[in-house]
Each structure stands twice: as C-alpha cells, then as structure tokens.
Amino acid sequence: MRSRFSTSFTALAIATAALAAQAAPQAELHELAQKQQQAYLDTLKELVHIESGSKDLEGTKQIAEYVAGKLRALGGKVEILPATDIYRLDDTPEQVGPMVHAEFKGKGKSRIMMIAHMDTVYLKGMIKDQPFRVDGDKAYGLGIADDKQGVALIIHAVDLIKKLGYEDYGTLTVLMNSDEEISSPAARSTMVRLGAEQDAVFSYEGGGTDGSLRLATSGIGAAYLKVTGKASHAGAKPEDGVNALYELSHQVLQMKDLSSKPEEGLKLNWTLSKSGSNRNVVPAEATAQADARALKVADFTALEAAMNEKVKNKLLPDSKVELKFEVRRPPLEANDSGRAISKHAQGIYEKELQLPMKVMDKATGGGTDAAFAALKAKGGVIEGFGLSGYGAHSNSAEYVQINTIVPRLYLTARMIQDISAGKVK
C-alpha cells in the first residue's frame, strides 16, 4: 500500500511537470524561429542597402518593389498603392512614396494587421557612412532600427507562420508605408480604414532598449500664425504702418495660458518666429510656429477651437491674423482590448521564453503610425513589436540587438495563434 506522502509527492510531481510543459515554448515553432535568424539578417542587410529617405521617390519605389516581391513569394495578395489621398501638411512634398498592402487568407475568422514603415530620415548617399555590419550581438546600419528591422520582422513572421503550416487565422494584413518620417500624409487614411476592420494591430517600431510594448503615445500637433500688417518708415512715419511684429507678440503671449495643462499631457510651446526685412522698416509680415502635444484626440480639437477664439482678440485692429492648426499625428490611446492583448503577449514572453517584458500604458514621447490605425479601431493596437535597439535617426550608431530576433518572431507567431484560437480575452 502506497503511503499518503508518496501519493502526494507523485501528484505534486505530475502537477509540476504539467506546469513546466505549459510554460515551455512550442518546440517546433521555436526551432523554426531560430532557423529564420540568418535569413532575417540577410533580408535586413538588403533593406538597409536600399536608401529610402522619405523624399527620395526613387528609393521608396525601389524598397516597395523589394518588399512586395518578398510578400508575393510567400503567397500573399499584394499591391503597391500609389500616394493619392494626401493630407497636405506644412512640409508635405509634392510627391509622396507608395505603400505596400498584402493579405494572406487563412481558414479561420480572426483579422490581424501588422504595420511598419520603409522610409528613413536620411539623405541619399549617406549609406557609405553606415553600411550594414554585424559587430558582436548588434547589427548596425542606416535606418536599421527605425524601421527596417520592423519591415524584415513582418516578412519573416509571415514566412514562419507559413513554414509552421498554421492556417487558423482569418486574414493577416500587412501594410507598409514610405512616408512615416514626414507624418504619414498619404498613408494615414488607409491606416485608419484598415485599422477599423481588425481584431488586433501590431506595429513594428522598435521596442527600445528593453523590448517594452506600448499602448499609448503622445499626439503631435503644429500651429502656424501669420500676421499681415503694413510697412512704413520706422523713423519718419511709423504711425503710417501696422507693425506685424507687435501683433504677433500679442497673439503669442495671449496664447501662453493654453499650455497650462502639462499634468494632462497637453502642451503648446511657440518655438519659431520670423519678422521684418530691414531695421528701419515697420514689419509688414510676421510668422510663428508652435509645437503641440496631447494624450487624447479630443484635446487637440479643443485646443484648436480655443486658439481660433483667442486670435479674434487683436492688439492692432488693422492687422490681419491667420491661424492654421494641423494634427501631424494623433495620440495613441490605450483601451481595454489593447491591455488584454499586451498582457497576453507579456505572459508568452515571460512564461514561455523566460524573458522580461514591460507594458507601458502611459504615453511617453510621441509619434507613431499605430495611432492612425487606432483612430476607429475596435480591437487592440499595440506598438513596439519590433527588435530592441538604439540610435534611431543617428548617422553613426543606429543598431538592433540580434538576440531579440528569435523572441520577436516567436512572439508574433504565438499571438497570431492565440488570437485566432480565441484565447486572448
């Protein structure tokens, strides 16, 4: 007869083994992810060596063709979308590069979208100063962290799913744009439209140095003031003029109180100004620009309305005051669906891969295409699915951490599996 201690010990051992098995990574998936690493680095090298500054039309078309070819080879329905519906910002170029849109159909019902951007901040010819190279556990290159690592991750995550033979998703949508670094004037409407159709959206900007996922980012706005006055001789007949600089100063100062809510993430700071042509001429024109930040979409709407009301109060009645406000990028606001998805991702990372992961639901910094995808979304939108790295917008030290390739590929595949199986609540 077995002792009560023996029986309890056996039960405990079985429970412990079951728990360990549950927490272990899926062996086949993890092995396939490991086999993707070198292919991923090869793709990343090719992407880095295609120079694709946001205003380099030739370069953005070239990288779009490359990415589209990779996705077609994986069996996707792929189209290169020219920039047509362009939201004109103050610095939007006449022509904007294309987007790549791909869809992969499965046998299930889930709808998941993955986004990244193909453009960089760099000028043509700068690749000679920062070509792709591997040094220890880091891969360096122009635009490698922001965001060519994300482009490569999506390509190889789809490849991983295909090699695994997993087809229980409904639709995997891929969208990559080439105007993110200039505030996505052409891609934003497509992102909003497609984002509204998804159960989940994963954005592959880098996960910073610690691999954090982000549920919220600040929005970026800009205000432009233009005052038109009347020129006159500053010494002989100043009374005949209308001093645009005086009126501009009045307008800027009376709007100072609109930036008094930093605790709520609403900020308005006037940063640039220009007026006059000569010391002895009353200036006929003066301009100023302001940077605006907000944590809620509604805050930008309220700020613009308040500014329009303020400019009605003029110091010089004969001056003409024009205000233009643009939302360059809306804030990404955390929602319950996003929290549930990120918590599930955190569990996979920590329990199956034994790696730490932070989830940040408070906005830090600003500016992400994920915010456009989230504007009308019912599902969760998560930023930071990309590799860990550092040095974005640096022409000498931009890198990604190679040891995050496999975990990030594994995470994407597991999230597709669990969302498609209805396991994310």
Active site residues: 119, 180
The runs of H, that is alpha helices, within 165-233 are: 188-195
Among residues 241, 271, 244, which one has the least CA distance to residue 255? 271
Cα separation, 112 vs 115, whole angstroms = 10
Pairing mode, if any, of strands 219-228 and 285-294? antiparallel
d(CA 155, CA 63): 13
Return the closest-CA partner of residue 401 out of 202, 206, 213, 214: 206
**Residue with the two structure tokens 């005051």:** 321
User: Could you tell me which of 187, 138, 189, 127 has the C-alpha nearest to residue 400?
Assistant: 138
Phi-psi region of 155 (alpha: psi -120 to 50; beta: other; left: phi over 0): alpha
3-class DSSP assignment, residue 224? strand
Do the Cβ atoms of 229 and 221 come closer than 8 Å?
no
Instruction: Sort 101 into a burial class: Cβ within 10 Å, 0-12 / 13-18 / 19+.
Output: buried
Residues in Cβ contact with 394 at an 8 Å cutoff, skipping those fewer than 6 apart: none
In sequence order, the β-bridge partners of residue 53 are: 120
What does the longest C-alpha to C-alpha distance in the chain come to? 117
User: Dihedral sign, CA of 213, 75, 192, 322?
Assistant: positive
Q: How many CA atoms lie within 13 A of 301 on its CB side?
A: 3
Q: Any idea what DSSP says for residue 366?
A: B
- Closest by alpha carbon to 326, among 360, 354, 300, 296? 300
Q: Which residues contact 191 (CB under 8 A, 6 or more apart)?
A: 115, 175, 177, 184, 369, 372, 373
Q: SS3 of 325, please?
A: strand
